[in-house]
Structure 1
Amino acid sequence: MNRLDAIEPQWPPGSLLREDNTNENQSRAIVLKAQKTKSWNPLKLLAISSISIALWAAIRARDLIQPQAIDPFDFAARTTKVLSEIPLIDGHNDLPFLVRLQLNNQIYGDNLPFGHGLASHTDLKRMQEGKVGGQFWSVFVEHSVRDTLEQIDVAKRLVAEYSELQYCETAACARKAFKSKKISSMLGAEGLHQIGSSIAVIRQMYDLGVRYITLTHNCDNAFATAATTVTNTGKDSGLSDFGRAAIREMNRLGMMIDLSHTSHRTMRDTIAVTRAPVIFSHSACYAIAKSLRNTPDDVLQMLPQNGGLIMIFFANKFIRPDNPQKATLEDVVDHIFHAASIAGWDHVGIGSDFDGTPSVANGIDDVSAYPKLIEAVMRRGATDEQVKKLVGLNILRVWAENEMVSAQIQGEIGSRPVESYWEGRTQPTWNGPLPSLKKNK
């Protein structure tokens, strides 16, 4: 055995060796071994010194190349990192409705909404400040299929005007857009009152790019009961048989079912019959804010089995119905953590309702404020992995699962579009003679 190999180093007092850098310790140990041996071989010592210097240089290079760990209490840095890795996708923004009300859907020239004078929570500069990675734009109107088509049209035209935005109809597109540093832009319709009580129109909406439909807005329709009706009358009829037929068709299409605005019974009925995960595109928790517009705990408990999620919104009168003017960003965080405590972090997201509500919680005043919200969530104790699910991974998963359920249903033998119709619809009239029809032999 070589004498050098047999010598165990005895670390001298004041040694620079550190327990937290094993490789560097080893390089220093080699030198100390050489120094303590009585056999001074200049060539061997030179070789050892060269190896030690090379090893030290490699360690220093590694330290310079590898990113330094972020201080867990540096919430701003953690937020920046998370939002650079995962798109923050907001489930509900009503800017297209403001464009209709304030600009009559005329967006060119001096009227371009992101460039001039539109009174709103939203513009491109503030979206970029808020590190928004994706947005579902609501194509809401109060009446008629025609008006809904106009809102789909203006939303698409608006997206087309900005190279920073990318129109998307699939979850894969939203992921790709984020990697290309663009803000994915998707469409959602806020109420089945917008389809003229016709399941056929749901199919047309899907073909036009709409990827979720809220079952009700602030009124009942042929499909389901709204929360507002229960508030006003105390009666909750839930989902109708025609509504169940619509759910089957939405599952077949891959159209996400949105349960915001619906009655509690409608929520339960829908989750019981759907084959695909549901969303609440902009809602809050009934247990801590007693408005029937909000989602009760027993429904939140159904989300893990269903696979869906609730996207917490910022409307002050539903976040703090007891005192809306006192609602703050911290109240929004309360709702996020309550939903996570009941349903789990796999089933919570963000759906602001910006530009769809006149007043939002103090401290989260417009689309630039998302980083402040995420920092507050981290400050409460959420991990980076939980925040990644909250901001984008959950909605991307639910969307992709709806696409997979659609493919499965359409691959089943005998799967065809649902032909159910509402018996209360006005039947067409014809005063002339009926054409003569003969059966094929």
Structure 2
Amino acid sequence: MTVNKVENIEERFNELVKKFPILDTHNDFPYNLRVQLHYEFESTKEFNFDSLLTSQTDLVRMREGKIGVQFFSCWIECKEDDMYYQDFNKPNSVVRDTLEQIDVVKRLVDEYSHSFKFVHTADEALKSFRDSETKKISITLGVEGLHQVDLSLAVVRQYYDLGVRYITLTHNCDNPFATAASSVTGGLPDKGLSDYGRDCVKEMNRLGMMVDLSHVSHKTMLDVLEVTQAPVIFSHSSVYSLTKHERNVRDDVLKLVKDNGGVVCINFLPIFLKQPGHDEVTVEDAVDHIKHIVNLIGWDHVGFGSDFDGIPKGPVGLEDVSKYPNLIKKVWGATGATEEDIVKMMGMNVLRVWKECEIVSERMKNKIKPVESNWDQREWIFYEYCREFPELFPGAYKIKEKENIYKDTQKLV
């Protein structure tokens, strides 16, 4: 990279953020409302999102950070204490808990509607930002792990209808769809994407739901990039070449991301940025990770995915949501980038991917119906009295009879 000196960065940055949004693909603030307030923020007099909080996110600092579009993460942890569990049929409350996360974000948007607007499309996100003359932050959602759909593509569809615009294929546990990076670190085999996972990617493409590859194993990344018909995102990941953590993205994958048209959004958690010989993780480490992506695959494939309020603390100089201008200006000074390249990194790359996923969806919906497949190891358990219900057509009960388990522990009347 040939670095040209950029004059008047401060002045030029202030002009850019009037027209182009800073976009963060991953903020975990909703989980803090779950664990600390049980979602009862409106009746908690000490909570005021329009004032300085002691968390990493509030409206005061979001405005200071010039945030234009925010993806709030609807994250619910894997439901087993053993993160390497493989019994995916075990009943759990994860769908309920995810719906509560979606609900609390929408209630937060309603309560602070003077500064927030919930949006459903890439065009709407940009239009709301510009029409409000940057006074309103466009809000949308991501779900952090397919364990949160509890085996069912129907749940994926319902999340989309509720406004979720990306799903991470795994969190820190395997699921019937894919292998997690943490499982490989823990010694389990890297099975990559399952056949059911391939069906899920197809359905996400059909819906216009962005496929997020943060947290997944290396083979899962490769498998998805082979089968997806739409660009992918890494909502909060960094570069493996600089920080050899299994969660980070290797160069072979980065090159495939370029071919795919996807975006890697840099994670601010220090463990994913720390480089050998650096005693303290700082904003300059984040700059290095961005520069590596730019040098390898170009400005079209980088963005921000902070993980704020899902991390104990950020790097020095990137402590909270107010610090995006600091990062952007440091990247600009270190790279000599054009204004066009800077606005791509700020958020236009992610908006482009979001829009391209919508275009792929429109094309696919004209050709294919919703994917109806189920996980081939799913347990279908019913009570004996179900056999007494009217048959859909002659022989209907026999179609799935061998897959069903019938119990006689309850009576209908």
Is the shorter-chain TM-score for this pair beyond 0.5, marking a shared fold?
A: yes
Q: How does 1:21-40 map to 2 (within 5 A)?
A: none
d(CA) in 2 for partners of 1:324 and 1:115?
36
Please, which of 161, 164, 168 is the counterpart of residue 210 of structure 1? 164
TM-aligned CA deviation for residue 440 of structure 1: 7.1
d(CA) in 2 for partners of 1:255 and 1:261?
17
Q: What is residue 174 of structure 1 aligned with on the other side?
A: 125
Note the residue ranges of structure 1 that are not aligned, 5 or more in a row: 1-70
Please, which of 376, 384, 393 is the counterpart of residue 423 of structure 1? 376
TM-aligned CA deviation for residue 81 of structure 1: 1.6
Please, which of 336, 339, 350 is the counterpart of residue 395 of structure 1? 350
d(CA) in 2 for partners of 1:404 and 1:255?
11
Deviations 1:352-387 (A, max 9, x none): 110111121111111111111111011112221110
Please, which of 246, 261, 264 is the counterpart of residue 215 of structure 2? 261
Q: Secondary structure at the match of 1:429?
A: strand
Q: Secondary structure at the match of 2:192?
A: coil
Q: 1:347 to 1:194 in 2, by over 3 A?
A: same
Q: Secondary structure at the match of 2:18?
A: helix
Would you say 1:240 and 2:175 are equivalent positions? Answer: no
d(CA) in 1 for partners of 2:239 and 2:102?
30
Q: What is residue 87 of structure 2 aligned with on the other side?
A: none
Please, which of 104, 107, 113 is the counterpart of residue 154 of structure 1? 104
Contact 1:135/1:185, CA 8 A, preserved across alignment: yes
TM-aligned CA deviation for residue 159 of structure 1: 1.0
Q: Secondary structure at the match of 2:376?
A: coil
Higher alpha-carbon deviation: 116-125 or 235-244: 116-125
Q: What is residue 287 of structure 1 aligned with on the other side?
A: 241
Q: What is residue 61 of structure 2 aligned with on the other side?
A: 126
Q: What is residue 345 of structure 1 aligned with on the other side?
A: 299
d(CA) in 1 for partners of 2:290 and 2:50?
33
TM-score of the superposed pair, with normalisation by structure 2: 0.86
Q: What is residue 139 of structure 1 aligned with on the other side?
A: 74
What's the Cα RMSD here?
A: 1.8
Task: Give the letter aligned to residue 240 of structure 2.
Answer: Y
Q: Secondary structure at the match of 1:301?
A: helix
Q: What is residue 411 of structure 1 aligned with on the other side?
A: 366
Contact 1:99/1:113, CA 8 A, preserved across alignment: no
Q: 1:390 to 1:187 in 2, by over 3 A?
A: same
d(CA) in 2 for partners of 1:304 and 1:373?
23
TM-score of the superposed pair, with normalisation by structure 1: 0.81
TM-aligned CA deviation for residue 118 of structure 1: 4.9
Q: Secondary structure at the match of 2:25?
A: strand
Q: Tell me the percent identity.
A: 50
Please, which of 11, 15, 28 is the counterpart of residue 94 of structure 1? 28
Q: Secondary structure at the match of 2:183?
A: helix
TM-aligned CA deviation for residue 73 of structure 1: 2.4
d(CA) in 2 for partners of 1:113 and 1:258?
32
Q: What is residue 32 of structure 1 aligned with on the other side?
A: none
Higher alpha-carbon deviation: 282-291 or 380-389: 380-389
Q: What is residue 186 of structure 1 aligned with on the other side?
A: 140
Contact 2:242/2:275, CA 8 A, preserved across alignment: no
TM-aligned CA deviation for residue 111 of structure 1: 4.8
How many residues align structurally?
369
Runs of 4+ in structure 1 over 6 Å off = none
Q: How does 1:5-154 map to 2 (within 5 A)?
A: 72-109=6-43, 110-115=45-50, 118-142=53-77, 143=79, 144-154=94-104
Contact 1:72/1:78, CA 8 A, preserved across alignment: no
Q: What is residue 384 of structure 1 aligned with on the other side?
A: 339
Please, which of 152, 176, 180 is the counterpart of residue 222 of structure 1? 176
d(CA) in 2 for partners of 1:218 and 1:137?
19
Task: Give the letter aligned to residue 428 of structure 1.
Answer: I
Higher alpha-carbon deviation: 107-116 or 146-155: 107-116
Note the residue ranges of structure 2 that are not aligned, 5 or more in a row: 80-93, 396-413
Task: Give the letter aligned to residue 203 of structure 2.
Answer: E
Q: 1:372 to 1:241 in 2, by over 3 A?
A: same
d(CA) in 1 for partners of 2:60 and 2:52?
13
More helix by share: 1
